[in-house]
Amino acid sequence: MKTRIIYLALGRLLPGMVAAADILGKQGERLLSADCVLDEPQIERLRRRAVRSVLVRVPDERDDATIGREIEAAEHRLAHIFRGEGSEVRADLQRAVAAYRRQQLA
């Protein structure tokens, strides 16, 4: 099954989800390792440590058309955010953010 990596707010985590990267505390200490399967006690410990979001692997059931629509919507939002005239540096930033969003959605 195809998976995707997304950030989820702590309140949206469910037992059985898999961490896609090390989960770090505020001082940079590793709280949980990448690829660990989260359980309820771990999620509660993260809550007590004030972790706000976690990068997790989730099943990706989207078809190509849905992915295309999501990418198109993200590009439309970026065009709105970066509307108007600006510098070459601003255009470079817009291109970099667009490339990042396409990568995250694909």
**Contact criterion met (CB below 8 Å) for 56 and 19:** yes
Query: What pLDDT does residue 10 have?
Result: 94
* Shared domain check, 82 and 42: no
* Shared domain check, 69 and 54: no
CATH number of the domain within which 16 lies: 3.90.105.10
Q: Domain residues for 101?
A: 64-105
**Contact criterion met (CB below 8 Å) for 4 and 23:** no
Q: How confident is the model at residue 84 (pLDDT cuts 50, 70, 90)?
A: confident
* Shared domain check, 75 and 28: no
Query: What pLDDT does residue 24 have?
Result: 95
* Shared domain check, 70 and 48: no
Q: What's the CA gap between 67 and 2, in Å, rounded?
A: 13
| 8 has pLDDT over 90 | yes
Q: pTM of the full predicted structure? A: 0.69
Q: Exposed (0-12), middle (13-18) or buried (19+): which is 40, by Cβ within 10 Å?
A: exposed
Mean pLDDT, residues 40-56: 95
User: How many separate domains does the chain show?
Assistant: 2
